[in-house]
Amino acid sequence: MSKDDQIYKDKIKVRGKSINIWPAKTEVLEISDSPMTYLAHFDDIEKYHDKLKERILELEKEESHTHRFKIGGSKVRYVHEWGTAESKLINARATAFFCQAVGRSNAVITASWASISRKNEYLAGHSHDDCIASVVYMLEPGNGKNENGLDGKFAITDPRVPGCCNKEEGRVTMEVSPDMKPGAMIIFPSELVHHVHPYTGDEPRITLAWNFKLSEK
Ligand SMILES: [Fe+2]
């Protein structure tokens, strides 16, 4: 991933405290070099998670922001319209991740939303169109029992990802499920097929997502 020193200097004020958009100590793990897939983890989540969660659950009640799917849970759209410092921060973090991954200094967000899953909800395999990279952020994994380690788990199953094809190139025989603990943010090419396993918890499971295109400038 490309690193521009400026990325470590930009800050956003959240409840009176300046928070680095991209803290210098942020861990970034390469899940796959080609196709490019990285996993970052932010460890300052106590500074913004509570308020971000509160705002999303409040917006979920407003029809103008929310679409409720039959199986896949709620989508609360447009992170940049949520109007809080916490949403501004996480939006900036996702954008910074995209910029570092593609080596550009600006980006176009073609879509962004929060996904709220409740008991027995899941997302079937899909990919995202009209964009080149997608970012998913784990805000709240919820309280699923997780006995098999798969409860509400985000996973990639795509023949272009070597980790999914452990027996024969181009044949998916397993899934790649990164460690999406709270504060984890993954970026992957939008064409990769991914899904979310059924969630069994009683508390809402909340992730955020963005689709990005390159800026023409
Ligand atoms: Fe997706």
Expressed in angstroms and rounded, the spacing between residue 86 Cα and the centre of ligand 1 is: 22
Classify 142 in phi/psi space as left (phi over 0), alpha (psi -120 to 50) or beta.
Answer: left
> What tokens does 118 get?
């409740």
Expressed in angstroms and rounded, the spacing between residue 85 Cα and the centre of ligand 1 is: 25
Expressed in angstroms and rounded, the spacing between residue 9 Cα and the centre of ligand 1 is: 31
pLDDT of residue 105: 86
Query: In Å, what is the CA distance from 217 to each residue of 105, 140, 202, 210?
Result: 10, 35, 46, 20
Contact assessment for residue 19 and residue 89, using Cβ atoms and an 8 Å cutoff: yes
Tell which residue, 176, 179, 177, 53, has the closest CA to residue 116.
53
**Long-range pairs, 56-60, Cβ under 8 A, ≥24:** 56/82, 56/114, 56/116, 56/139, 56/206, 57/116, 57/204, 60/116
> What tokens does 216 get?
């023409």
**Distance, C-alpha 168 to centroid of its chain:** 29
Expressed in angstroms and rounded, the spacing between residue 16 Cα and the centre of ligand 1 is: 34
pLDDT tens, N- to C-terminus, the chain (217 residues): 776 677 788 999 999 999 999 999 999 999 988 999 999 999 999 999 999 999 999 999 988 888 887 777 899 999 999 999 999 999 999 999 999 999 988 899 999 999 999 999 999 999 999 999 999 999 999 999 877 788 999 999 999 999 999 999 999 999 999 999 999 999 999 999 999 999 999 999 999 999 999 988 6
Expressed in angstroms and rounded, the spacing between residue 194 Cα and the centre of ligand 1 is: 6
Contact assessment for residue 91 and residue 19, using Cβ atoms and an 8 Å cutoff: no
Expressed in angstroms and rounded, the spacing between residue 195 Cα and the centre of ligand 1 is: 7
Domains in the chain, please, with CATH? 35-214 (2.60.120.620)
Contact assessment for residue 56 and residue 137, using Cβ atoms and an 8 Å cutoff: no
Q: In the 8-state DSSP scheme, what is residue 171?
A: B
**pTM of the predicted protein model:** 0.95
Q: What does 118-167 look like in DSSP terms, one character per residue?
A: -TT--EEEE---S-SEEEEEEEE------TTS-TT-EEE--TTSGGG-SS
